[in-house]
Structure 1
Amino acid sequence: MNFNLRNAVLSNVSGSSQEQLEHTIVDAIQRNEEKMLPGLGVLFEVFWKNADEQEKQHMLQTLEAGLK
């Protein structure tokens, strides 16, 4: 069996509104379940691939500050 988690996550959130995406992200974080981490990773990948250099820099600064 060949299961592509990335495609499954993208299929589940495709066409979602900003509000739905926010709910998905907040819910995943609040549940604090390890199984939710791959989905958040896929969403981060989508952000990264579609962000311009300024947005990427801002994200890196935010991550750096949050990890101190």
Structure 2
Amino acid sequence: MNLNLRNAIIHNVSGNTQDQLKDTIVDAIQRGEEKLLPGLGVLFEVIWNHADQKEQDMMLETLEQGLKQ
């Protein structure tokens, strides 16, 4: 992914409230448009990089369970 795209995505949501961030995520998922996937990836990267090991393990467990459905 182009670093400029990553920075643009982070810039666009920096300063957003939790409600705004949730709306952004839910909207991107509901639309199901391929072009929105990089943005969700960048947001996940931020979450992952700021999570401790226990939180990362929880995310991986949740992901693994979700993929089994």
Q: Structure 2 unaligned runs (5+)?
A: none
TM superposition score normalised by structure 1 = 0.94
Q: Structure 1 unaligned runs (5+)?
A: none
What letter is aligned with 1:33?
E
TM superposition score normalised by structure 2 = 0.93
Instruction: Give the superposition deviation at 1:4.
Output: 1.0
With over 3 angstroms needed to count, the CA separation of the structure-2 counterparts of 1:48 and 1:19, relative to structure 1, is same
Runs ≥4 in structure 1, deviation > 3 angstroms? none
Q: Aligned residues: percent identity? A: 69
How large is the Cα RMSD of the aligned pairs? 1.3
The equivalent of 1:7 in structure 2 is: 7
Q: How many residues align?
A: 67
